[in-house]
Amino acid sequence: MAKFFDKLVSKIFKEKPIDWDQLEADLVSSDLGIRQTMEIVDELQSLGRKVKADDVVEKVKSHINDILPEDEQALSPLENGKPYVITMVGVNGVGKTTSAAKLAFLLKNQGYSVMLVAADTFRAAAVEQLEVWSQRLGVEFVKGAPNADPSSVCYTAHEKAEREGIQFVICDTAGRLHTKQNLMAELDKIKRTLQKHNEDAPHLSLLVVDATTGSNAMQQAKEFSKAVTLNGLVVTKLDGSGKGGILVSIYRELNIPTRFIGIGEEPEQFEEFRRQRFIDELL
């Protein structure tokens, strides 16, 4: 995972005494958010002694540990024989389709049966992209007619999955901007349609955000959570210049826990989020 405090560490170890303005700037640029940054700096300054680099490292770690929730349980199939339904939503290009495929791969490797559903029906290329993934990974795939209503594709897929005893259904949706009312309403329709099969569906509604977009990801999380119930976050592209701090601020502000992280383009470069591991790898 990206060591998002690399820069910070190298600076604070060189500079004694600590340059507070610089520390603030570095914490903010790690996407930890202004609120967290101010709290960390205040707490350090109120230690009442000369603050050392180790103090900063410890404080950042303990602060994040206090904010983030306990890890969620790994996903497990429903016991009533119906499929566990996962929807992937987010703005364009964040990594929804890739993450849907990677998640299918992860679940398949845990021994579960999985179906990928192409509910991004706007572009033929989008359907094809997911189809190629499903063939490569050897998982079930369902698509609709070109330009079909995404809800109907999800409805049919659920029916098929239930009939065939498939344990996990992952619905990939088209990228959309929160400003497009009709597209946001479509997400709600997908949910309502799935609920005709199972009132608890979707069991996991994942917002996918690209870590390299920094505070934009926070904005997306705010807007999407107004339109749909989100109960998990996927943070992609943490292998690049992505600053993982964003997942801390999103949880703090919106209570959406990070469930998975993407750390590359390959199917295995995707992990369940683990708080301790994240903190250990920060510095």
Ligand X SMILES: Nc1nc2c(ncn2[C@@H]2O[C@H](COP(=O)(O)OP(=O)(O)OP(=O)(O)O)[C@@H](O)[C@H]2O)c(=O)[nH]1
Nearest CA-CA partner of 202 in 151, 239, 164: 151
3 state SS of 237: coil
94 binds, among ligand X, Mg ion, none (CB under 5 to 8 A by kind): ligand X
Which residue lies nearest ligand X, judged by its C-beta? 175
Contact of 246 with 217, CB cutoff 8 Å: yes
Q: Could you say which of 54, 188, 200, 265 contacts ligand X (CB under 6 A)?
A: 265
Contact of 129 with 120, CB cutoff 8 Å: no
Total number of residues binding ligand X (CB under 6 A)?
19
Q: Could you say which of 32, 44, 126, 207 contacts ligand X (CB under 6 A)?
A: 126
Q: By CB under 5 A, name the binding residues for Mg ion.
A: 96-97
Contact window for ligand X (CB under 6 A) among 49-57, 93-101, 177-185, 219-227: 93-101
26 touches ligand X by CB under 6 A: no
Contact window for ligand X (CB under 6 A) among 15-23, 35-43, 58-66, 233-241: 233-241
Of 34 and 185, CB closest to ligand X: 185
Strands (E), 101-226: 114-119, 140-142, 168-173, 204-210
Burial class (CB in 10 A: 0-12, 13-18, 19+), 253: middle
Tell me, residue by residue from 133 to 172, as one string, x for binding to ligand X by CB under 6 A and - for no binding: ----------------------------------------
**Edge-to-edge strand ranges of the sheet holding 168-173:** 140-142, 114-119, 168-173, 84-89, 204-210, 232-236, 258-262, 270-272
Of 166 and 171, CB closest to Mg ion: 171
Q: Could you say which of 94, 190, 218, 250 contacts ligand X (CB under 6 A)?
A: 94
Which residues face 118 on adjacent strands? 172
178 touches ligand X by CB under 6 A: no
Of 101 and 169, CB closest to ligand X: 101
3 state SS of 139: coil
